[in-house]
Chain A
Amino acid sequence: MGTLVDARNIRGVYYTGGKDVVAVDDVSVKIEEGEVLGLAGESGSGKTTLGSIISLIARPPLHVEQGSLEIDGKVQELGGDAKVPRTWRGAVVSMLPQGAMNSISPTKRIRHLVYDVMRSHDRKVSKDEALDRARERITTLGLPARVLDAYPHQLSGGMKQRTVTIISTLLNPRLLVADEPTSALDVSSQKILIEMLLEMLEKKIMSGVIFITHDLPVLRTVATNIAVMYEGRVVERGPTERMVDDPQHPYTQALMSSVLAPEPKYRKIRIEGMSSFDRSLFDAPAVIHR
């Protein structure tokens, strides 16, 4: 399988009044066809910013100073005043923002949302067409068709998140960027959402996923490769198992060791957390596994 997405040398800076904050500093990521790339990092690491740049929704005060995005062989400049074709957003790359399930309009039924999304790309699409497509998609992914007629508050958290995920991929984007899609969910709903995402990949609804989260155990389950970000840079990147079981970069090591799981060994040991003053942890050169 070939390369799906090749994002190169992305630099994203927030222009905030006085000083500029470099949120993403010369980051390149590649995603293969059928891959889930897990983007891990703690708050402020730049993972969400990178996700929004790749999904082409960077807005002031965030400015993309340089970088390019290649999808299916087509190259799109991102830096400066480069114009992104309208058709790319949503149809080629789609973003599922953090907390999306709680920001859908509470006064409208889900089917309105479906129609809005479809119509924003195709002015001529009829209501019936849009709904048929959504109904088919929803039922093949194991949700009851009645969610279309429900109001958001009538759905459970897990159900809502699955629904917005399906809606955000109605246009069959090549790449889905999902920002913390599981963070607000209970473990059981997390699992179902992950199962659904993988099924969607298998059904080629989309061909690749960037899964942004701080939750490493979730990435262990869903990701093909993991990239760990810190202070706007990718400090280590590689196949999931390698990253989890044998991390090389000291920051990744510290991150992995601070994960607590319900396993007997955690009953006996005392784990020391990270000290943000220990620069050696962060300044080590980046490690990229092949």
Chain B
Amino acid sequence: MSAIFAAEHITKTFGRGRSQVQAVKDVSFALAEGQVTTIVGESGSGKSTIARLVLGLMPVTSGKMIFQGKDVTHLKGRARAEYWRDVQAVFQDPFSSFNQFFTVGTLLSRSMRLVGGKVGQQRLAESLGYVGMDLSVLGRYPHQLSGGQRQRVMIARALMMRPKLLIADEATSMLDASLRVNILNVLTDLRDELGMTILFITHDIGQACYLADRVLVMEHGVMVEQGRTDQVIFNPQHEYTKRLLADVPKLHEALELEELHEIVEPS
């Protein structure tokens, strides 16, 4: 399968002089078309920065990004708006990604302008359909929706552009587990039915394992390991990945705790 997007040696530095912080250090990866690629990392690993760099929401300090054979490293103005028709995103916080003064209808009609009026109207119903909603949601304000509904509206918003690449930045981490599975299923359906390429960013290896075709592991701005999901999760090579996997609490087996004490059993 060919790569739809490639990042070559991208680096992002924040601040100047002494307070300089390298959030992303010389990271290279490729996203295969029609696959779900997951970036796994803990807080401060730079994974969300990568999302914003790929989206062109902030400029890279150095390196190169290629989308469908074109250099998209430094897009501006109209070219960037074009790019956003193909590359869309869903963010982490289902509260703060809504403008609380907008109804769902207002939110979606804004995106509609990017694709043009008539086409937009058609896609509106279609996109809401994909996430299991209908037009009755348009008159609602965000506070009248549950967290899961809000996140589905956000996915619908992204889908209106029929993006070729969808970036989900911790899009499920603030949802309850039962709703989370529903959203993950929506994403896999998009991949399977529309052939959409998805970059899913998460701190939760469990979700990566459920969803991803490929996994990239980040630590302190460095990409330490990447490969097929089965390889990375069930046969990790890098120390960091191994430790991460060892520390993940599991449901059906007790986590191995260090030091002398053991879990206190009921007496």
Residues of A within 8 A of B (CB): 1, 32, 34-36, 42-43, 157, 186-188, 190-191, 194-195, 198-199, 201-202, 214-218, 220-222, 224-225, 239, 244-245, 254-256, 258-264, 266-267, 270-274, 276
The answer to whether A244 touches B252, judged by C-beta atoms less than 8 angstroms apart, is yes
The answer to whether B250 touches A195, judged by C-beta atoms less than 8 angstroms apart, is no
Report Cα–Cα, A222/B208, bound state, in Å.
24
The answer to whether B209 touches A271, judged by C-beta atoms less than 8 angstroms apart, is no
Residues of B within 8 A of A (CB): 42-43, 146-147, 176-182, 184-185, 188, 203-210, 229-230, 233-234, 243-245, 247-255, 257-259, 261, 263-267
The answer to whether B178 touches A198, judged by C-beta atoms less than 8 angstroms apart, is no
B208: chain A residues at CB < 8 Å are 262
Report Cα–Cα, A239/B254, bound state, in Å.
14
The answer to whether B206 touches A258, judged by C-beta atoms less than 8 angstroms apart, is no
Report Cα–Cα, A220/B247, bound state, in Å.
13
Known: A187-B248, A217-B249, A244-B251. A255 touches B263 (CB 8 A): no
Choice from B43, B147, B181, B263 contacting A221 with Cβ under 8 Å:
B263
Choice from B181, B203, B233, B257 contacting A186 with Cβ under 8 Å:
B203
The answer to whether A217 touches B250, judged by C-beta atoms less than 8 angstroms apart, is yes
Report Cα–Cα, A215/B265, bound state, in Å.
20
CB<8 Å pairs between A and B, sample of 13: A191-B257, A195-B261, A201-B264, A202-B261, A220-B254, A258-B181, A260-B209, A261-B252, A263-B209, A267-B209, A267-B210, A270-B185, A271-B185
The answer to whether B234 touches A264, judged by C-beta atoms less than 8 angstroms apart, is yes
How far does the Cβ of B166 sit from chain A's closest Cβ, in whole Å? 19
B185: chain A residues at CB < 8 Å are 270-273
A218: chain B residues at CB < 8 Å are 249
Report Cα–Cα, A42/B245, bound state, in Å.
25
B258: chain A residues at CB < 8 Å are 195
A266: chain B residues at CB < 8 Å are 206, 209-210
The answer to whether A198 touches B263, judged by C-beta atoms less than 8 angstroms apart, is yes
Known: A186-B203, A262-B209. A217 touches B251 (CB 8 A): yes
A270: chain B residues at CB < 8 Å are 185, 188
Would you list the 6 A-B pairs with minimal beta carbon distance, nearest first?
A: A273-B182, A260-B206, A217-B249, A274-B178, A273-B181, A42-B176
Q: Which residue of A lies closest to B259 (CB)?
A: A195
The answer to whether B264 touches A224, judged by C-beta atoms less than 8 angstroms apart, is yes
How far does the Cβ of A42 sit from chain B's closest Cβ, in whole Å? 4
Q: Which residue of A lies closest to B183 (CB)?
A: A273
How far does the Cβ of B202 sit from chain A's closest Cβ, in whole Å? 10
Q: Which residue of B lies closest to A225 (CB)?
A: B266
How far does the Cβ of A183 sit from chain B's closest Cβ, in whole Å? 10
Choice from B176, B188, B244, B255 contacting A43 with Cβ under 8 Å:
B176
